[in-house]
Amino acid sequence: MTVLIGQLFTGVSIGAVLLLIALGLALTFGQMGVINMAHGEFIMAGAYTTFVLQQVITAAGWSLLIALPVAFVVAGAMGVLLEILLIRRLYARPLDTLLVTWGVSLILQQLARDIFGSPNVQTRAPELLTGNIALPGGITVANNRLFILALAGGAVVALTVALRVTPLGRRIRAVVQNRDLAAVSGIATARVDRMTFFIGSGLAGIAGVALTLLGPIGPTMGTNLIIDAFLVVVVGGIGQLKGTVIVAFALGVLQASGEYLTTLSVAKVMVFVAIVAFLQWRPQGMFTLRTRSLA
């Protein structure tokens, strides 16, 4: 029983990681329809930001907290730069966007290698986050996982609120639902696109900060995550957040229980089979957004 609850928590926390890495993509891919293969490298940028900050601010707790907004801005700025320099020119040519951003992702990886060296770097986690909380019945809950869960929850709430109630959020939704009508109504769609890209990429940066608590920081860390992130967004249904959230946690729990009952490799196969089966049944994903756009 304790193992079961422990595993459920592990599943939920895998889901939280998936959610964090997919959330930004839900915005740039889901809302804007841009396939950004360099999204993983924005995650990497967030992780390296944490590393750099820790060289300056040696107190592990403070550097982690400060890294959150800084990584958001750094990754967001990289996203905007990419949008202005390349993606904006390719909105009508999605396949070219794919290739170009893949190239950008390779360039960014090499850049990281040149700046930080190809060996992994490491950050010290604050002492508070390396421990765990013991619950009655022998269940332990790792503090860093709790932190990531809270962070993912916070990010979803913040993003939902931003999309629902702020003027910018309204404009983003308007552009997603009908770009032409939004433009005619006086919304500067280009500026809205840029802001959407800023937020989406910035969320990748926050995911990067969170991942420093779990694994290595290296030039290729982003490529390992990008496929998972796309899977979550596609299965969740393109165009809105609810599906992304549900699917991230569902896949996390499925992965954890599959892995517990069998092995890690078999669990991965199970997850993929489940996804393929699901997409056969609902090719449009879990939820679909009704739009009035004709495209």
Partner 1 sequence: MTLFRGRRILAGAMTLVAAAALAACGSKTTDQNTSAGVTADVSGDTVKVGLLNSLSGTMAISEVTVRDSIMLAIEEINAAGGVLGKKIQPVGEDGASDWPTFAEKAEKLIREDRVAAVFGCWTSASRKAVKPVFEKNKALLFYPVQYEGLEQSPYIFYTGATTNQQIVPGLDYLKAQGAKSLYLVGSDYVFPRTANKIIKAYAEANGMKVLGEDYAPLGSTEFGTITNKVKSSGADAVFNTLNGDSNVAFFKEYKSAGLTATSMPVVSVSIAEEEVKSIGTQYLEGQLTAWNYYQTTPGAANEKFVAAYKAKYGADKPTSDPMEAAYVSVYLWKAMVEKAGAFDVEKVRQASDGITFEAPEGLVTVDGATQHIAKTARVGKVGADGLITEVWNSGAPITPDPYLKSYPWAGGLS
Among 118, 128, 165, 282, binds partner 1 (CB under 8 A): 118
The size of the interface with partner 1 (CB under 8 A), counted in residues, is 62
Among 22, 78, 142, 152, binds partner 1 (CB under 8 A): 142
Q: What is the rounded CA–CA span in Å between residue 247 and residue 253? A: 10
Strand partners, 141: 133
Give the sign of the dihedral formed by CA 149, CA 21, CA 167, CA 160: negative
Burial of 196 (0-12, 13-18, 19+ CB in 10 A): buried
Per CB under 8 A, 259 contacts partner 1: yes
Per CB under 8 A, 232 contacts partner 1: no
Determine the interface stretch with partner 1 among 50-58, 115-123, 163-171, 270-278 (rule: CB under 8 A). Answer: 115-123
Asked whether the beta carbons of 24 and 196 are under 8 A apart, the reply is no
Residue closer to partner 1 by CB (options 114, 158) is 114
Per CB under 8 A, 132 contacts partner 1: yes
Helix-then-strand count for the chain, H and E: 12, 2
Among 119, 164, 170, 191, binds partner 1 (CB under 8 A): 119
- What separation, in Å, do the N-terminal and C-terminal C-alpha atoms of the chain show? 51
Residue 193 Cβ vs partner 1, minimum distance, rounded to whole Å: 12
Q: What is the rounded CA–CA span in Å between residue 105 and residue 101? A: 6
Helix (H) or strand (E) holding 270: helix 264-281
Q: Residues in the site for partner 1, rule: CB under 8 A?
A: 2-3, 6-7, 10, 13-14, 17, 29, 32-33, 35, 37, 94-95, 98, 102, 118-122, 124-125, 129-132, 134, 140, 142-145, 213-216, 218, 220-221, 224, 227, 230, 234, 238-239, 255-256, 259-260, 263-265, 267-268, 283-285, 288, 293, 295
